[in-house]
């Protein structure tokens, strides 16, 4: 870090933006169009309203998620058989507006009910909330669940409370499987609530990301500095510390998770998630350390996922999520799914 705020500003101004883009104002639409073209027979992109939806969702409860862009493959990458029916994108790190969300509802509504899977940010809560009021006024049955898995933030009634981060993809997976199996709206909601209650995530960041429209990083970390608990939009974390080994990092992150929720003697799913710029090599090393600790603790691992599941543009860093499973949840996690970011057969 520089000498005070001005030096800090100057240092940030000096960072140049290197990105594979055409126009900073078109990153969301061009990204989603590219996603459609990665699976054109299964996905449909609605321009302007920035919705990715399944071409043939079938006669079932429809699951819709969304939020700010910049977290790809979340959420459009999880649209497909066995997961979401539609994803709605806002601008980079900004909530989508209710008219976009209503478009997603219109695209996938099969009159079996709609479930919104919302990450706990005030903008998302408000926009999905108003969309749900408007959809209900048209006679469409809508229910919502709110994911808040980030243990870096205390869960409070006052203020917004705990953020929703990478653990959200487990909610998409398990609830999506339930809906695909013909679950009713209330059954799907119950699965989503159970998943939310049993998933915890803790992350860290090593370098910032640059919003295309801003052209420079929103914060800086020193050469030998990392931030434990930083949010997926660069929100401040719990502490800044020095670079750690994979072994130490796994210990620090899991310790926070274990302090928040008791995973003893349980069976879990593990997600070792990259924030965008961290090589898979490092994520696999981290996973090795995570599995060691889980084994020592007597926690059985049912399935492990390693990769970039919920990112923050080119931020480097990671998060670890643990989901405690019961028999029903194992079946739902094991069920097939076919999306561009998560395929399981």
Partner 1 sequence: MLQFTSSDYADYIKKAYDFIHSKGDYITALDADTGDGDHWINMDMGFGKLNEKADELGKMNISDELKQIGMIMMSVIGGSSGVLYGSAYLSAAAKVKGKETLAMQDVCDVLDSMLKAIMERGKAKEGMKTMIDSLAPAVKAFQDALVSGKTDQEICELVARASEDGAENTKTMEAFKGRATYQANKGLGHLDPGAVTMSYQILTLMDCMKEKLS
Give the long-range contacts of residues 5-12, CB within 8 A, separation 24 or more. 8/220, 11/220, 12/216, 12/217, 12/220
Instruction: Give the whole-angstrom CA distance, residue 201 versus residue 82.
Output: 23
Binding mask 188-227 for partner 1 (x = CB under 8 A): ----------------------------------------
- Which strands form 300-307's sheet, in the order they lie side by side? 239-242, 225-228, 199-207, 316-325, 267-274, 300-307
The closest alpha carbon to 336, from 324, 327, 344, belongs to 344
Binding footprint of partner 1, residue count (CB under 8 A): 22
> Which residue of the set 71, 75, 265, 302 is catalytic?
71
Nearer to partner 1, 213 or 288 (CB): 213
Nearer to partner 1, 93 or 342 (CB): 93
Q: How many residues does the chain have?
A: 345
By CB under 8 A, residue 129 contacts partner 1: yes
Minimum Å gap between C-beta 86 and partner 1 is 18
Asked if 265 is an active-site residue, the reply is no
Asked if 71 is an active-site residue, the reply is yes
CA dihedral 331, 337, 342, 345 (to 10 degrees): 80
Can you tell me which residue has the tokens 């799913």? 269
Segment 69 to 108, residues that bind partner 1, using CB under 8 A:
90-91, 94-95, 97-100
Minimum Å gap between C-beta 163 and partner 1 is 12
Instruction: Give the whole-angstrom CA distance, residue 335 versus residue 160.
Output: 34
Minimum Å gap between C-beta 131 and partner 1 is 9
Tally the C-alpha atoms within 13 A of residue 260's C-alpha that lie toward its C-beta.
25
By CB under 8 A, residue 126 contacts partner 1: yes
Segment 151 to 170, residues that bind partner 1, using CB under 8 A:
158-160
* Catalytic site positions: 71, 233
Which residues here bind partner 1, judged by CB under 8 A?
90-91, 94-95, 97-100, 122-123, 125-127, 129-130, 133-134, 158-160, 235-236
């Amino acid at each position: 870090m520089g000498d005070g705020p001005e030096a800090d500003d100057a240092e940030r101004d000096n960072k140049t933006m290197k990105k594979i883009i055409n126009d900073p104002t078109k990153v969301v639409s061009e990204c989603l169009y590219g996603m459609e073209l990665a699976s054109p027979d299964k996905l449909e992109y609605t321009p302007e309203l920035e919705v990715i939806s399944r071409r043939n969702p079938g006669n079932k409860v429809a699951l819709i998620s969304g939020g700010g862009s910049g977290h790809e493959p979340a959420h459009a990458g999880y649209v497909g058989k066995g997961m979401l029916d539609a994803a709605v994108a806002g601008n980079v790190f900004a909530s989508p507006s209710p008219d976009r969300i209503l478009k997603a509802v219109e695209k996938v509504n099969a009159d079996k009910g709609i479930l919104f899977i919302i990450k706990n940010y005030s903008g998302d809560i408000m926009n999905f909330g108003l969309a749900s009021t408007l959809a209900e006024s048209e006679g469409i049955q809508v229910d919502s669940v709110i994911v808040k898995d980030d243990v870096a933030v205390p869960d409070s009634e006052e203020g917004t409370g705990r953020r929703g981060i990478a653990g959200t993809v487990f909610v998409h997976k398990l609830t999506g499987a339930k809906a695909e199996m013909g679950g009713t709206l209330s059954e799907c909601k119950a699965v989503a609530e159970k998943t939310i209650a049993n998933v915890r995530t803790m992350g860290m960041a090593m370098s910032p990301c640059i919003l295309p429209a801003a052209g420079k990083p929103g914060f800086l970390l020193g050469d030998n500095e990392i931030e434990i608990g930083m949010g997926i939009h660069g929100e401040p974390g719990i502490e800044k510390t020095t670079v750690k080994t994979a072994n130490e990092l796994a210990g620090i992150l899991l310790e926070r998770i274990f302090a928040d929720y008791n995973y003893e003697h349980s069976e879990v799913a593990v997600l070792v998630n990259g924030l965008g710029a961290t090589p898979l090599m490092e994520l696999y090393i981290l996973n090795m350390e995570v599995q060691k600790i889980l084994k020592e603790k007597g926690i059985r691992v049912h399935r492990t996922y390693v990769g970039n599941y919920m990112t923050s543009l080119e931020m480097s860093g990671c998060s670890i999520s643990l989901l405690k499973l019961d028999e029903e949840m194992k079946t739902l996690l094991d069920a097939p799914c076919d999306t561009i970011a998560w395929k399981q057969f």
